[in-house]
Structure 1
Amino acid sequence: MNITLSPSPNFDERKHPIDMIVLHYTGMQTGQAAFEQLRNPDAKVSSHYLLWEDGRVDQLVAEDRRAWHAGVSSWQGDDDLNSRSIGIEIVNGGHDFPAADGTLPPYPDIQIQTLIELCHRILAGRDIPQTRIVGHSDIAPVRKQDPGEHFPWARLAQAGIGIWADIEDLDTPDVLGKGLSPGEQTASVRQMQEQLQRIGYDLSPTGTFNDLTEAVVRAFQRRWLPDRISGAADIATLRQIGVIQALYAAT
């Protein structure tokens, strides 16, 4: 893997050790537009790496410096995630620039294979838990949707990067009831919120299925149930939340 040094002025000093990887899509019309934005001092945004569709990699900020990619965000009780993470921007138009047929633009195979190699390179010699390899939508569910429901998290997990679980392939206990919907106020909502909080989402257990809870459920679905993004917690979503919470607790 060849990495081109293309320095961005948009960085400062870290305040914490590196223990996270945050994955983004660029959400711009072209990779060149994203490249220019990430190196524009007026934009005040950057990442450590930019990964192009053809597998090229630009390093914009040294790993020991604090790139400005995460914004206001939180995970597993931590904030200032820019100080804790390495950010990778993946060239993809995402929700803002879909494909001509209206679908989300695919991630080319060579791009994902290079991403896997890059993540292994970052992980080597570092204590980065699998539970702290996240998408931007995980750490900022109200604001962000990237890297999107079209991102191949399962493929990364098969390569040892992050966690994936397919509930159809697991022996999981049945979840009874009709699911949970926005606006509900029940002990079951509180239990779901507690599980999501244990996974890492910035969510206080209130027992009320409020707007923040809906955003977090949608972010969870975007990552682990990409075919059923609704913000409501149906039975499949509740089962998957339990599975992922248990896997995170055991990791």
Structure 2
Amino acid sequence: MQGVQRAAGLLAAFASTGLLTACVSTSAGLNHESEDYEIEVVKSQNASERVRFLVMHFTAIDFDTSLRVLTQPSSAPVSSHYLVPESDDPSYPHDDLRVYQLVDETRRAWHAGPSLWEDRSQLNDHSIGIEIVNKSHCHPPAESTPEAEEEAVCFFPDFDPKQIELVTALSKDILARYPDITPTRVIGHGDIIPQWKIDPGPKFPWQQLAEAGIGAWYDDETVKRHLDYLSGNTTSDRDSVRQRFAQWLRDYGYGIDPAAATEDEISLYTRAFQYHFRPWKVDGEVDNQTRAILLALLEKYFPDKLSGYPDINTRVLAVKDS
């Protein structure tokens, strides 16, 4: 289900290639001059930024292989705008960690696939991608039988603290250049295409980044308030709870269709949400804690949507500062 074993096929495709140096390009800009005609610039108010999202990935492979995979042609080409190495990687050629730019920010990198977030699809067109060297990986389950279904077995090493410092600094610079990247638009690969991906995985420090001003996180007291309310409300059956949760996921940004979502799809998107916001327990179950966390996020970032839910006691909502 997770599809994080993308490295296997790509490794074979690049087995005979060598290491590339970082491909850093400079922006030519959108404005230009011409000797053949005169240009008069009148800025239209009817425009917006191309870049709306920042997408985080882990590579699942080492630096050397990551750089080759992300820069050289293949039958299944991938790329990203940036690659951030990690310490103590024998394949990394420098003593100090450096940010590698592989694609100019004005160009479309191939990192997001057939993704969905908010009202946008094909997020390659609207995003900047950061690949982070981290050898998380999953072993696919054994062939399933009617009697039992086995989950994939995944291994998630910690991210390098020095590496995360680089990711934080890089992300802050990107956010300063692109004001349309709001907190809920700093997302993981697994958020936008959970059918195939789970990166950057449960060890990625989303809360640490949010505390540095990068991305979204919830307030603990708000979670507790919603949890207390949900725990006291026992009138809803399981199916209706899951369907309403699917609607809340959609309102936050996830690409689920609440009206058509199957049981398996709701579990899939719930797992994606938990990888990001409740990484200590990822089980796909729509329990009260998971619901309370999502409600806390909606209250913080989309309060108008939350106040419109008929099954939520709006009297428990915090009063917003005017």
TM-score normalised by length of structure 1: 0.85
Which runs of structure 2 are paired with 1:19-34 in the superposition (5 Å)? Answer: 19-28=52-61, 30-34=62-66
Instruction: Using the TM superposition, give the Cα deviation of residue 207 of structure 1 relative to its aligned residue in structure 2, in angstroms.
Output: 7.8
User: 1:37 is matched with which residue?
Assistant: 69
User: 2:142 is matched with which residue?
Assistant: none
How well do the aligned residues superpose, as a CA RMSD in angstroms?
2.6
Q: Which residue identity is paired with 2:79?
A: S
User: 2:122 is matched with which residue?
Assistant: 80
User: 1:149 is matched with which residue?
Assistant: 202
> Residues 44 and 207 (structure 1 numbering): CA distance in 2 closer, same or farther, change over 3 Å?
closer
Instruction: Using the TM superposition, give the Cα deviation of residue 5 of structure 1 relative to its aligned residue in structure 2, in angstroms.
Output: 4.3
Q: Which residue identity is paired with 1:175?
A: L
| CA contact 1:23–1:89 (8 Å) conserved in 2 | yes
| CA contact 2:222–2:296 (8 Å) conserved in 1 | no
Q: Which has the larger radius of gyration?
A: 2
Gaps of at least 5 residues in structure 1 are: 9-15
Aligned residues: 234
1:135-190 CA-to-partner distances (Å, cap 9, x unmatched) read: 00110111111000000001100100001125357552321367999xx532x222
Distance 2:24 2:137 in 1: 28
1:219 to 266, 269, 272: 272
Q: Which residue identity is paired with 2:159?
A: Y
Q: Which residue identity is paired with 2:250?
A: Q
Distance 1:180 1:135 in 2: 31
| CA contact 1:139–1:201 (8 Å) conserved in 2 | yes
Gaps of at least 5 residues in structure 2 are: 1-20, 26-48, 88-96, 140-153, 305-322
| CA contact 1:46–1:60 (8 Å) conserved in 2 | yes
Q: Which residue identity is paired with 2:86?
A: E
User: 1:185 is matched with which residue?
Assistant: 239
TM-score normalised by length of structure 2: 0.67
Distance 1:150 1:47 in 2: 21
Indicate the percent of aligned positions where both proteins have the same amino acid: 37
Distance 1:209 1:179 in 2: 22
